[in-house]
Amino acid sequence: MSEKHSEITELLGPTIESLGLELLGIEYLPAPGGATLRLYIDVPAGEGGEPERTVTIEDCESVSREVSAQLDVADPISSNYTLEVSSPGLDRPLFTAAQFARFVGEEAKVGLKLPQDGRRRLQGRILRVEAGNVVFGLDGVEFVVAADNIDKARLVPDWAAMGLAPNKNSPSKGKPAKGQGSSTNTGKQPSTKPAAGKPHAE
């Protein structure tokens, strides 16, 4: 995690927790026309280890309003940017070793910061997390990656197991939306108008 990521995570984490939600991680994407700051939020796990509900569009809008005001005051990003607040969706992003450990047995698509064994990208089953490493199963072979060498990672949903894979004998309805709700905001002013696609707030 870069210094900028750490700064923003430490700044916004407590605010999001005060709303009864959890900051899973952030993506900061600089661009010539203005950067994008994307926050992924979730409902904390209950006693059974899983969230009792899913993130709603109202959750995204509440977070957008609160963190927009906080970002305006703290001003950790000097350039123009768009704030997006998103639920994790079925292809949820993974940011920490603990998050990988939660989804042991699931398939994940991973991009590496530095090449390893000639690979910059890989897709495999999460076997276990140990000593700061994430162990993947690739074609029957274990592939060990240092958690701090993982740039981006997402779960790969098993559409067939969820009964959501297209049926060859019927018209395809497409895959379900990634997120449960969305709120988008351009600039630094919060917006309550939901955007199409996954939940976010600019």
CA distance 81 to 28: 9
CATH superfamily, with its number, for domain 92-175: Ribosome maturation factor RimP, C-terminal domain (2.30.30.180)
For residue 7, count CB atoms less than 10 angstroms from its CB and return exposed for 0-12, middle for 13-18, buried for 19 or more.
middle
Question: What are the start and end residues of each CATH 3.30.300.70 domain in the chain?
Answer: 3-90+178-185
| Residue matched to tokens 């001003």 | 75
* Distance linking the first and last C-alpha atoms of the chain: 22
Q: What is the pLDDT of residue 185?
A: 57
Percent of the chain with pLDDT over 70: 79
pLDDT band (50, 70, 90) for residue 6: confident
pLDDT mean across residues, the chain: 83
Residue for token digits 């074609």? 139
pLDDT single digits (tens) 64-100: 999 999 999 998 888 889 999 999 999 999 999 999 9
**CATH 2.30.30.180 domain range(s) in the chain:** 92-175
Query: DSSP for the chain?
Result: --HHHHHHHHHHHHHHHTTT-EEEEEEEE--TT-EEEEEEEEPPB-TTSSBSS---HHHHHHHHHHHHHHHHHH----S-EEEEEE---TT-B--SHHHHHHTTTSEEEEEEEEEETTEEEEEEEEEEEETTEEEEEETTEEEEEEGGGEEEEEE---TTTTT-SPPTTS----PPPS-S-EEEESTTS---SPPSSS----
Q: How confident is the model at residue 41 (pLDDT cuts 50, 70, 90)?
A: very high
Query: What is the CATH T-level fold of the domain 3-90+178-185, as seen in this structure?
Result: GMP Synthetase; Chain A, domain 3 (3.30.300)
- What pLDDT sits at residue 163? 76
Quick one: pLDDT at residue 176? 41
Is the per-residue pLDDT at 10 higher than 90?
yes
Q: What is the structure's pLDDT at 37?
A: 95
**pLDDT value for 147:** 95
Q: What are phi and psi of 37, to 5 degrees?
A: -110, 110
Predicted pLDDT of residue 3: 77
The answer to whether residues 42 and 87 touch, using CB atoms and an 8 Å cutoff, is yes
Per the CB < 8 A criterion, the answer to whether 110 and 136 are in contact is yes
The model carries a pTM of 0.78
